[in-house]
Structure 1
Amino acid sequence: MAHELGESDWGDWLPTAIADADPDGVAVWYLGCNGFVLKGSDGTTLFIDPYCGLGDPPRTVRMIPVPFDPEDVEDADAILATHEHSDHVHGPTQAPILAGTGANYYAPDASMAVVERVDWTDDWGVVADQLVTVSEDETFEVGEFTIHVVPVNDPDADHPVGYVIEHEAGTVFHGGDTRHADSFTDIADRFDIDLGVLAFGSAGRLLDKQTREPKRTQWYADENGVIRAANDLELDRLLPSHWDVWKGLTADPTVLHNHARSFEYPQELEVVEIGDRVDL
């Protein structure tokens, strides 16, 4: 079965560390792939695109550990989905978190269509009121966070969105799998972004979904594209994501130092591995 839930050999230390954390501002944990957890000083906990699936071998092969069992997550106030792809909307990962915590699920319409088709309410006991469809230029509150839905550019998705997440300690941007977008200069005018997450990867030869023949594939921005996006967004700190997960599309985020050197932004490159924490 494609994108089946993986078994974690990390135990419950990561969700326990998140639950026990008492950040002064906002703590941010990287879950690998494009998944993140944000926890504020008052305890509000947001998940963004968590994914504990194994991919669809041999087409997509997961290269990193599964960091937790979704049923071990006891504290969550919301899950945000950026777009409908299986490593961003994943029932076996996300629905048990919703059912176990009562968190709300915020997602654009194409993502919500996946939720409805797979029927998270019947299969996992998610309550329909937990499912909230969002679109660009909406703003909503989750505990101590103010969340803005913003337009992005993912040419492989039906309806992608990004999120600008404001807190008194700072502002985080998560662009999903976006590449450079014309909207980024406007976003920079509206928000002072302290930490920005941008997907980064190489091009490789993956099996075509229909023909199963090898095909040149590029799903994420390359080095120059990531730095162009970071510069237009005027990011203080750039955190590259997604470079670690798929065999054939992995990349080395440390090379971004060279590509960023002559630009004003990002002012700092934040290279992290799965399970790492950074703070605002």
Structure 2
Amino acid sequence: MTHALGESDWGDWLPRAIENADPETVALWYLGCNGFAIKGSAGTVLWIDPYLGIGDPPRTTRMIPVPFDPTDVTVGDALFITHEHSDHAHGPSQAPILANTDAELIAPDDSVAVAEEEAWADDWDVSTDQFTAITEGDTLRVGEFAVDVVPVNDPDATHPVGYVIEHDSGTIFHGGDTKPTDSFADIGDAYDIDLGILAFGSAGTIPDKETREPKHTKWYSDETEIVDAASALEIDRLLPTHWDMWKGLTADPTALYPHVRSFDHPRRLEIVEIGDRVDL
């Protein structure tokens, strides 16, 4: 089944680690692909793009473990989606989290449309009242976090957005699957971004979605593009994502070290694996 929920052999240790954590500032757990759980010092928990599916083998074949079962998640105040692609807006991964926590689903219109068209409210204990559509320029408050919705550049998506997440302890940027764009210079001037999350990967040849014939594919920023984006955003710590996920499109994030060396930003490369925690 395309993008079916994967079975985890990790047990519930990661959801329990998030639930029991008491960070002094803000803690982030990398969920693989482009997913994160974020918990603030006052206990507010945000989820961004959690994806626990297996992909669409052999076109997209998951290369990393499924870190938990979404029914084991018990804490969450909001679940953010960056765009409508199946590894970002995914009912089997996300609807159980919404059902267990009563978190608000916050997403651009085309991602909310996925939840509505796939009838998340019919298949899980979820209400459409939990769905909030946002767009670039919107500002919202979730507990201790202020979140600004900003424009990004993902030409493969119909309505992608990025999120600037501000906390007393620092500022996080999550760009979804963005590539560089002119708006990043303005975002870099407007915010002091401590930790920037940007997708990184290689080009590869994978089966076409319709014909299944081999097709040259490049979905994520390469070494030059991710550093150009991080430099324009004036990111202090760059955390590359998505490099671990799809067979044929994976990359080595340590290859970024010589690329960032001569730039003022990013000042530090933050390389994490699925399940790792980082703190602001």
Instruction: Tell me the TM-score range normalised by the shorter chain.
Output: over 0.9
Structure 2: distance between partners of 1:191 and 1:231? 13
Q: In the alignment, what sits opposite 1:128?
A: 128
Q: In the alignment, what sits opposite 1:140?
A: 140
Partner AA of 1:72 in structure 2:
D
**Aligned-partner SS, 1:87:** coil
Q: In the alignment, what sits opposite 2:158?
A: 158
Deviation at 1:189, TM superposition (A): 1.1
Deviation at 1:130, TM superposition (A): 0.5
Structure 2: distance between partners of 1:73 and 1:34? 18
C-alpha distance after superposition, 1:243-271 (max 9, x if no partner): 00000000000011111111111000000
Partner AA of 1:65 in structure 2:
P
Partner AA of 1:230 in structure 2:
A
Q: In the alignment, what sits opposite 1:191?
A: 191
Deviation at 1:185, TM superposition (A): 0.5
Deviation at 1:232, TM superposition (A): 0.1
Q: In the alignment, what sits opposite 2:241?
A: 241
Answer yes or no: is 1:95 the counterpart of 2:95: yes
Structure 2: distance between partners of 1:101 and 1:262? 45
Deviation at 1:95, TM superposition (A): 0.2
**Aligned-partner SS, 1:100:** helix
**Aligned-partner SS, 1:46:** strand
Structure 1: distance between partners of 2:114 and 2:102? 20
Deviation at 1:113, TM superposition (A): 1.1
Answer yes or no: is 1:171 the counterpart of 2:206: no
Partner AA of 2:64 in structure 1:
I
TM-score by length of 2: 1.00
Partner AA of 1:183 in structure 2:
S
Q: In the alignment, what sits opposite 2:275?
A: 275
Deviation at 1:43, TM superposition (A): 0.4
C-alpha distance after superposition, 1:81-110 (max 9, x if no partner): 000000000000000000111000000011
C-alpha distance after superposition, 1:109-141 (max 9, x if no partner): 111111111011111121111100000000000
Q: In the alignment, what sits opposite 2:50?
A: 50
C-alpha distance after superposition, 1:29-58 (max 9, x if no partner): 100000001100000000000000000001
Q: In the alignment, what sits opposite 2:9?
A: 9
C-alpha distance after superposition, 1:205-256 (max 9, x if no partner): 0100111100000000000000000000000000000000000000000011
Deviation at 1:181, TM superposition (A): 1.0
Matches within 5 A, 1:46-125: 46-125=46-125
Q: In the alignment, what sits opposite 1:208?
A: 208
Answer yes or no: is 1:28 the counterpart of 2:28: yes
Gaps in structure 1 of 5+ consecutive residues: none
Partner AA of 2:259 in structure 1:
H
**Aligned-partner SS, 1:141:** strand
**Aligned-partner SS, 1:196:** strand
Partner AA of 2:4 in structure 1:
E
Structure 2: distance between partners of 1:187 and 1:181? 10
How well do the aligned residues superpose, as a CA RMSD in angstroms? 0.4
**Aligned-partner SS, 1:15:** helix
TM-score by length of 1: 1.00
Runs of 4+ in 1 over 6 A off after TM superposition: none
Identity in percent: 68
**Aligned-partner SS, 1:197:** strand
**Aligned-partner SS, 1:19:** helix
C-alpha distance after superposition, 1:17-37 (max 9, x if no partner): 010000000001100000001
Partner AA of 1:221 in structure 2:
S
**Aligned-partner SS, 2:27:** strand
